[in-house]
A and B are shown apart, each in its own frame.
Chain A
């Protein structure tokens, strides 16, 4: 989840299909993709629900939170507003009677790397799990690997392979 245009769909495209399109086409509903990740001692099958950023403004997303093992909150490191949006999303999630794992990704890190143009220090480091670039593929697989590890270690009916 995350504001419009932060790169949710792009992250999934990168992770699942190893591709990237600079063209923006906003999602208007929900898309679901699968991805299997091999960890050291187990395999995790992820079912990734890519939810339109547009839903953030209408709170339509709430019903998709039920049954989610984790919520990947994505923001754009060049847009402070998108970071504030996931902050309030997170506080809403914790108000609900569910508690999925919250995993925070700052995307589009390629735009700020080695450049002093953007001020991306608005992010509170202690809260951000991974900084990624769907464009370059940087840390995308790692992000989901890492999340899978957390999921696997939290999973009660873990099937070891």
Chain B
């Protein structure tokens, strides 16, 4: 079977002669019908040098692979040319090649995804390593200082220099405050890195949040915030998360200020595919080295004012973690002495459609009315009280009952004394359960309760609260039918979210 075909083509693209079996003059005589790239044969540039190594053709529903080449022949003395198109049929060989190529490509695409995952893992490992290092170092310093103060206080005491003691005490307190701050930032970090972002329904007015932060901020008298964020922009983001984000960014502007007055401008633009929030300050700017490392755990900027509270390299790392939790991106730019610009991009599906959400919100509270009796199980009276107030702040008209550990809760549910009066202690339809309590903790209670749950003729939901990392708790209680987990402390937003899911 012949595998090389020749087409004799005139200036207009008409096939004058060919040995190709698929050619059918009664259907179409033009070369473009078989090879669409010759659609304007007479205007196709450079036709004489036309060459194609592998051309995939589909002719009369059949697939072919050709190697194509064109040369011209002079037809007569008037310089009229005809063209010869040579088509080498490589179909058989290339059908196989195509299969192999496909398999190969699939693997290289998989590899691409794997490499990405690897990079992420590497950075996690790096982070853990640095974490241990930075922590031991950062904690040791203030501790050492406190220790030496302690000795000095001892001395002063024995020498009855009481004025010195007061002063030493104040200095020690500064160090303790520092430690305290470090612990809180670590806790925040732990929260955002361990929290799996649920389909959160918390809605936040970004502009209002920024104003609030500006007011709260330590040294706010030095700050001028130009808040350019639209007043009606509502985002589907958690308040605590973004409080941390902007508080860090604004505090950095203060920490790395140039003069006495700190100017921070925050602009928010809605692009086609994302929201862009740009925070610009008038501070000392940022070195290239700092730009590269700004978001690394434990990195401390090189240019901050020495008299400021020491930085401990957790802030921007936490910020980046939060932004990435929302599938966003963060970057830092700026030059030395020209201020710093932090740019945050968030997917624009976080923008809340106001109309739709109002309807949903009403719906949500209608539904919430179905909870009538709520039992709080927590050893802290204060927590029970606060949780109750949070419920009430959403104007949910439920009855609240509380007991102080799992064993008491068990008694309550089983109607044992002193809970034997059903009118005073009705069976709850919702239990808010703390994970750690004396006597019988939340996990043991959940286990015990799971065994007697079907004795009750109403569906009792359990929401478990904990200040510990959630993953472990979820593992420990995975068989006990917990309906919802909430990271402590409870907030209005978290409660709203809970009510929406239940």
Q: Mark A65-77, 1 if CB is under 8 A from B, else 0.
A: 0110000000000
Is A79 in contact with B273, judged by CB distance below 8 angstroms? no
**Distance of A111 Cα from B35 Cα, bound (Å):** 35
Give the interface segment out of B11-19, B51-59, B399-407.
B51-59
A54 touches B326 (CB 8 A): no
Interface pick from A29-37, A87-95, A97-105, A143-151: A29-37
CB distance from A121 to the nearest CB of B (A): 5
From A25, A30, A47, contact of B52 by CB (8 A)? A30
Contacting pair B102 A34 (CB below 8 A): no
**Closest partner residue, chain B, to A106 (CB atom):** B273
CB of B155 within 8 Å of the partner chain: no
Query: Does A116 lie within 8 Å of B347, measured CB to CB?
Result: yes
Question: Does B75 interact with chain A (Cβ within 8 Å)?
Answer: no
Q: With both chains docked as a complex, state the minimum distance between the C-beta of B164 and any C-beta of chain A, in angstroms.
A: 57
Does B273 contact A131, Cβ atoms closer than 8 Å?
A: yes
Q: Which A-chain residue is minimally distant from B95 (CB atoms)? A: A28
The answer to whether A34 and B39 touch across the interface, beta carbons within 8 angstroms, is yes
Chain B residues contacting A125 (CB-CB under 8 Å) are 271-274
Q: Mark B321-356, 1 if CB is under 8 A from A, else 0.
A: 000101111000000000000000101010000000
Instruction: Establish whether residues A121 and B52, one from each chain, have CB atoms under 8 Å apart when the complex forms.
Output: no
Residues of A within 8 A of B116 (CB): 80-81
**Distance A33 CA – B108 CA, assembled complex (angstroms):** 27
Residue in chain A with minimal CB distance to B106: A24
Q: Which of B45, B109, B273 contacts A123 (CB 8 A)?
A: B273
Known: A121-B347, A125-B273. A28 touches B36 (CB 8 A): no
Q: Is A26 an interface residue (CB 8 A)?
A: yes
Q: Is B260 an interface residue (CB 8 A)?
A: no
* Residue B190 at the chain A interface, CB threshold 8 Å: no
Evaluate contact between A5 and B109: CB separation under 8 angstroms. yes
Q: How far is the CA of A131 from the CA of B45 in the complex (A)?
A: 33
Is B105 among interface residues, defined by CB-CB distance under 8 A? Answer: yes
- Does chain B have a CB within 8 A of A45? yes
Report which of B53, B271, B326 forms a contact with A29, defined as CB distance below 8 A: B53
Q: Nearest B residue to A5 by beta-carbon distance?
A: B109
B14-59 CB contacts (< 8 Å) to partner A:
35-37, 39, 45-46, 52-58
Question: Quick check: A26 and B197 within 8 Å, CB to CB?
Answer: no
Q: Are B39 and A54 in contact (CB under 8 A)?
A: no
The reply to whether A121 and B274 form a contact with Cβ atoms under 8 Å apart is yes
**A28-B97, A123-B273 are contacts. A4–B52 as well, Cβ < 8 Å?**
no
Q: Nearest CB to that of B349 among chain A residues?
A: A114
A28-B56, A121-B345 known; A54 and B327 CB under 8 Å?
A: no
Assess whether B37 is in contact with A29, with CB atoms less than 8 Å apart: no
- If over half of B's interface residues share one DSSP class (helix, strand or loop), that class is named, otherwise mixed; here it is mixed
A64 and B266 alpha carbons, distance in the complex (Å): 47
CA distance A37 to B423 in the complex (A): 76
Q: Is A62 an interface residue (CB 8 A)?
A: no
CA distance A40 to B24 in the complex (A): 37
- A33 touches which of B36, B65, B101, B274 (Cβ 8 Å): B36
Most chain B CB neighbours (cut-off 10 Å) among A26, A27, A47, A114: A26
Q: For residue A53, which residues in chain B have a CB less than 8 angstroms away from its CB?
A: 105
Q: Which residue of A lies closest to B112 (CB)?
A: A81
Q: Is the CB of A4 within 8 A of B54?
A: no
Decide: A32 and B106 in contact? CB cutoff 8 A: no
- Is B39's CB under 8 angstroms from A28's CB? no
In contact, B37 and A26 (Cβ under 8 angstroms): no
Q: Which residue of A lies closest to B273 (CB)?
A: A125
Q: Is the CB of A121 within 8 A of B328?
A: yes
Within 8 A of A (CB), among B107-145: 108-109, 112-113, 115-116
- B94, A79: Cβ atoms closer than 8 Å: no
Beta-carbon contacts under 8 Å, B162-192 to A: none
Contact A29 B55 (CB under 8 A): yes
CB pair B56–A31 under 8 Å, yes or no, is yes
Contact with B along A1-44 (1 / 0, CB 8 A): 00011000000000000000000111111111110000000000
A9 to chain B, nearest CB (A): 10
Cβ contact within 8 Å between B53 and A121:
no
Q: A5-B109, A79-B113, A81-B112 are in contact. Are A30 and B98 (CB under 8 A)?
A: no
Asked if A32 contacts B105 (CB within 8 A), the reply is no
Across-interface contacts of B98 in A (CB, < 8 A): 25-26, 28
Complex alpha-carbon distance, A28 and B58, angstroms: 14
User: Measured between C-beta atoms, what is the minimum distance from B275 to chain A in Å?
Assistant: 10
- Whether, in the assembled complex, A119 has its beta carbon less than 8 Å from a beta carbon of chain B, the answer is yes
Residues of A within 8 A of B58 (CB): 31
Q: Which residues of B contact A31 (CB under 8 A)?
A: 55-58
Please, which residues of chain A bring their CB within 8 A of the CB of B106?
5, 24
Given known A81-B112, A121-B345, contact A32–B36 (CB-CB < 8 A): yes
- Bound CA span A104–B25, Å: 40
Q: What separation, in Å, do the CA atoms of A118 and B55 have in the docked complex?
A: 35
Q: Which residues of A contact B328 (CB under 8 A)?
A: 121
Could you tell me the distance in whole angstroms from the C-beta of B49 to the nearest C-beta in chain A?
10
* List of B residues within 8 angstroms of A81 by Cβ: 112, 115-116
Q: Name the A residues within 8 Å of B327 (CB-CB).
A: 116, 118-119, 121
23 cross-chain CB contacts under 8 A: A4-B109, A5-B105, A5-B109, A25-B102, A26-B98, A27-B56, A28-B56, A28-B97, A29-B94, A30-B56, A31-B56, A32-B37, A34-B39, A47-B37, A49-B37, A116-B327, A116-B349, A118-B327, A119-B329, A120-B273, A121-B274, A123-B273, A125-B273
13 more contacts with CB within 8 A, not counting A5-B109, A120-B273, are: A4-B109, A24-B105, A28-B54, A28-B65, A28-B98, A32-B55, A49-B37, A60-B53, A66-B46, A80-B116, A81-B115, A121-B329, A131-B273
